[in-house]
Amino acid sequence: MRLSLRFVALTAVAALGLATAGCADDSSGGSGATTGASAAASSAGGAAATTIKEGLKVAFLPKQVNNPYFDTSDNKGGKEAVEQFKGTYSETGPSEASPSAQVSYINTLSQQGTNVIVVSANDKNAICGALNEARAAGAKIVTFDSDTDPSCRDLFINQATADGIAKIQIKLISDAVGPDGGEIAILSATANATNQNAWIEMMKTELAKPEYAKLKLVDTVYGDDDDQKSFQEAQGLLAKHPDLKGIISPTTVGIAAAGRYLSGSSYKGKVQLTGLGTPNQMRAYVKDGTVKAFALWNPADLGYLAAYAGGALASGLISGKEGDKFTAGKLGDFTVGKDATVLLGEPFTFNADNIDQLNF
Amino acid sequence: MPERARRVFGSWDAVVLIALVVVSVAGALAIDGVASPRFWRFVSLEAIPIALIAMPMTLVVITGEIDLSVASVLGLTCSVMGQLWVWGVTSLPLIIVLCVLLGALLGAVNGLFVTGFGLPSLAVTIGTLALYRGLAYVVLGDRAVADYPIGWTTDAVAPIPRTTIPWVILVVAALAVVFGIVLHATPIGRGLYAMGNNAEATRFAGISVRRTKFWLFVATGAMSSLAGVFWTLRFASARADNGLGLELTVVAAVLLGGVSIFGGRGGLVGVLAAVALLGTLRNALQLAYVPANTLTVVTGSLLIASVVGPNAVSLLRARLRRRRAGAAPAASSPR
């Protein structure tokens, strides 16, 4: 009863919003109470808006709170973007990374009338039902970092392609080892991790190119994303291959453990290390010369782009179909690709020059 | 009349029920969204698996035992349920039956160790907590089975016609009646309290303590598996880590419901009210933008209150009784 009354009221406001949007070109600057309704109206009615509506409620839902990676993507990048388009930013989420806890937060956000939910999924499918309920209640869903099934979100912001990740790591190890090349090895996570294996396959393809002819991949070992196991595997690699010139570890746990081993051994500076790591974990090894450069995406940019994509969706500027174009503030123009995904760009390279400016 | 009033309001059941009403009404008045039917739908969906496990757990704790393996039984059930689907078992009733049988078997293992070998249930079920969760990962690894028919997953959370409340709550209610009758209106139930107070004396009185406890563990396993089936269908995802840590939520609800951790005291009404109270409070605070870290603190404090509360109440009552008895020496009442 109460709900249906509210619904009638909302529809009435929406209709009004549609009428006014038809008259005035610039419908931004409306009061907070009606922006939501007019945003809904313009996306439904297809009014030709050109800027992101003011007053949108944008909520970031990370895999878990208290995590430096999401603290950077949400509270640095996402917040900056939302403030730029004059929305209301919030970050909420469970203290443990479980899909069921995330569902409860999605339900809450949906009841709070959130216009955009930017979420990194703890499970591809488990949060789908809740997301679709939230969409039915009027929210736009943008996934980042970790996607859901495409049927339950409007856009996915992809941090980097597998191809891009493979290419940058081969380039970095080649630069670090030098023109003479030599033996290299890979320290991976688990033997059956889908993304790791996809990257390793693409790295092998990349190594087959003539410019990398002097690099020879001699071994791939698995540290199971466990710090101690990765440490021992790094140790084992050097014992087994005395001529080893470089290690690639495409996992943040592996590269940190290998860095710790190398920096405390006589191989420091002689055996090169690169891969995917976070600046906080790798800062010491970059400064002491164990690691020249490593790669990852910039999570602040990722959150920033996700917020703008959500704003554009909720303002009816884009619908999420392939070929849709939108502008994401300082990052420039983006185009929606296949399966409603937006690519952030090439991975970001961290080295001694920029590592102090990044904290995650 | 005063005697009756004192019994009603003096009992912990009533304290929890009143707290539930107060939290609901205050929440509805103060927090936008608590009064909406959708809020109660979400609270019910969250409470269902907890209530399913908390009911048999109540009986177990009343006998002075505990079962900490329940969330792992739930997780292993989810894994097996996923694997059954991968193997091509497409009949949902068959899957449910197999899963509940599995839960009963896992519960029987607990029961055998506790009653057969006379080991403390705390130690045994901490062991099986790890063991069953480990097996769940052996069965399914880090895979998630999620391609169940849409019909199954939507039916599992479908509302009762004309409401927003999921129909499964009726199953919980029916089971609550069964557990309630067994606990509060049969000789078996009276035996459970007796066991919690003094197992030795109960045995001499001709009640088979071992056999009764064994079947309680079996029932707990079966109900945990039933919760696992619901969990899998609700989230449309069978994973080995489903329900990780849920045993603590269940135990918290049972203790908050007024069941003594030492056995012999407590009831089903209080426990079910506590399940509802915890769910309502958490969801309402979440709606009021309370961050996750604060929520954990609130839940923890409630648990402490639940352990201290009933003891304080009975202490207070004993003191009142003593005062009424005047200067006479304290009666040697059992409690």
Q: What is the ipTM of this complex?
A: 0.79
pLDDT tops 50 at residue A16: no
Q: What is the DSSP letter of B29?
A: H
Decide if A124 touches B, using CB distance below 8 A: yes
A7, A65, A107, A190: best mutation site toward chain B, by most B Cβ within 10 Å?
A: A107
Which regions of chain A does DSSP assign to beta strands (E)?
57-61, 88-91, 116-119, 140-144, 155-158, 182-188, 215-222, 244-249, 272-275, 293-296, 325-327, 333-335, 341-343, 348-351
Per-residue pLDDT at A22: 36
Using DSSP's 3-state secondary structure scheme, residue A114 falls into coil
Cβ–Cβ below 8 Å for A108 and B287:
yes
Domain with B60, as residue range(s), is 40-288
Distance (Å) from the C-alpha of residue A3 to the closest C-alpha of chain B?
7
Report yes or no on B184 lying in a domain: yes
Nearest CA in chain A to B162: A1
Whether residues A239 and A173 share a domain: the answer is: yes
- Give me the count of residues in chain B: 335
Ordered alpha helix ranges (H), B141-208: 150-156, 168-185, 187-197, 199-204
Regarding whether A154 and A212 lie in a shared domain, the answer is: no
> What mean pLDDT is predicted for residues B85-95?
95
pLDDT at residue B110 is higher than 50: yes
Query: Tell me, what's the pLDDT at B173?
Result: 97
Same domain, yes or no, for A337 and A251? no
Residue B95 placed within a domain: yes
Residue A21 lies in a domain: no
| Cα–Cα distance, A161 to B168 (Å, whole number) | 43
> pLDDT tens for residues A155-204?
999 999 989 999 999 999 999 999 999 999 999 988 877 788 889 999 99
Q: Map tokens 């249930």 to a residue.
A: B121
B42-81 pLDDT, tens digit each: 999 999 999 999 999 999 999 999 999 999 999 999 999 9
Domain shared by A261 and A208, yes or no = yes
Q: Which 3 state secondary structure label does DSSP give A296?
A: strand
Highest mean pLDDT (candidates A100-104, A113-117, B310-314)? A113-117
The pLDDT confidence band at residue B4, using thresholds 50, 70 and 90, is low
Q: Is residue B219 part of a domain?
A: yes
What pLDDT digit, counting tens, does each position of A38-55 carry?
A: 444 444 444 445 789 999
Chain B residues close to A112, C-beta within 8 Å: 32-33, 287
The DSSP bridge partners found for residue A187 are A221
The pLDDT tens digits of the residues spanning B239-290 come to: 999 999 999 999 999 999 989 889 998 999 999 999 999 999 999 999 998 9
Instruction: Flag whether residue A321 sits within 8 Å of chain B, measured between CB atoms.
Output: no
Q: Are A137 and A167 part of one and the same domain? A: no
Q: Is residue A64 part of a domain?
A: yes
Let me know if residue B27 belongs to a domain: no
Residues A195 and A71 in one domain: no
The answer to whether A76 and A305 have CB atoms below 8 angstroms apart is no
Q: Is residue B335, in this structure, part of any structural domain at all? A: no
- Taking 90 as the threshold, does the pLDDT of residue B204 lie above it? no
Q: pLDDT tens for residues A22-37?
A: 333 333 333 333 344 4
pLDDT of residue A266: 93
Which of A111, A122, A132 to mutate against chain B (most B CBs within 10 Å)?
A111
Whether the CB of B290 is below 8 Å from some CB of chain A: the reply is no
Give the end of a domain, one of A296, A315, A330: A296
Residue B118 exposed, middle or buried by CB count within 10 Å (0-12, 13-18, 19+): exposed
pLDDT of residue A232: 95
The chain-wide mean pLDDT, for chain A, equals 86
**What tokens appear for B235 in the block?**
């989230």
Q: Based on the structure, what is the number of domains in chain A?
A: 2
Q: Is B242 exposed, middle or buried (0-12, 13-18, 19+ CB in 10 A)?
A: buried
Asked whether residue A166 falls in the same domain as residue A151, the answer is no
Same domain, yes or no: A167 and A208? yes
Would residue A1 count as lying in a domain?
A: no
Residue B25 lies in a domain: no
Is residue A24 domain-resident? Answer: no
pLDDT for residue B3 is more than 80:
no
- Domain-located, residue A41: no
Question: Do both A174 and A155 map to the same domain?
Answer: no
Q: Kindly state the helix (H) or strand (E) to which residue B279 belongs, with its residue range.
A: helix B268-287
Residue B14 counted as domain residue: no
Judge if A178 and A292 occupy the same domain. yes
Q: How far apart are CA A296 and CA A277, in angstroms?
A: 6
Q: How confident is the model at residue B335 (pLDDT cuts 50, 70, 90)?
A: very low
Residue A10 maps to a domain: no
A335–chain B Cβ distance below 8 A for any pair: no
Same domain? For A175 and A154 the reply is no
Once rounded to an integer, what is the mean pLDDT over residues B192-204? Answer: 83
- How many CB contacts within 8 angstroms connect chain A with chain B? 85
CATH code where residue A170 lies? 3.40.50.2300
In a domain, A83, yes or no: yes
Q: Is A18's pLDDT higher than 50?
A: no
Range A310-333 average pLDDT: 95
Q: Are residues A284 and A313 in the same domain?
A: no
Domain of residue B169, CATH code: 1.10.3470
Does A32 reside within a domain? no
Range of the domain at A204: 162-296
Q: Give me the number of domains chain B comprises.
A: 1
**pLDDT mean across residues, chain B:** 90
